[in-house]
Amino acid sequence: MKSRKGAKYERIKDQLIPLFEKVEDPVSRMASAVALLKNKFSYFYWVGFYRFFRNRLVVGPYQGTLACMELEKDTGVCWHGINTGQSVIVPDVDKFPGHIACDSKPKSEVVVPVRDKTGNIVAILDVDSKEYDSFDDDDKVGLELIADLIYKEL
């Protein structure tokens, strides 16, 4: 049985698919995904993507307060997700060694790797909340659904 939140992510996915069928550009898809996610979840303080560009992890489409332009290699939550190839839920950012704070407000965070058609990690989807412990497995699974659409042939 799907939770209410799980069903909400499914509806977001269903809303994005017809849009993504029209445009294959991953940056356009990222921009549309963050716009929808930011508006649908009141506890999403910042939502966006970091992408590899010339071997550096730089900010991509996002909604929220001004973000760090680049994340220092092998540091923080996003790089942890990239290096392990796994989504990461962080209930308290202050307890995560090396967490990068672009802004003092975020208290909890979730990141989900984004893979291209060949399975390589090319970006990471990152969501921050101003409350502790905002993200659970439904968010992780739901955000993975969205991340998997970015490079998908539809």
34, 36, 88, 102: which one binds ligand SME (CB under 6 A): 102
128 binds ligand SME (CB under 6 A): yes
In degrees and rounded to multiples of 5, residue 30 shows phi and psi of: -60, -45
130 binds ligand SME (CB under 6 A): no
> Least CB distance from residue 153 to ligand SME, whole Å?
29
For 122, the token pair is: 């090319």
77 binds ligand SME (CB under 6 A): yes
Of 67, 20, 27, the closest CA to residue 47 belongs to 67
For 117, the token pair is: 């058609």
Letter for the amino acid at 31? A
Q: Enumerate binding residues for ligand SME (CB under 6 A).
A: 46, 67-68, 71, 76-78, 99-100, 102, 106, 109, 126, 128
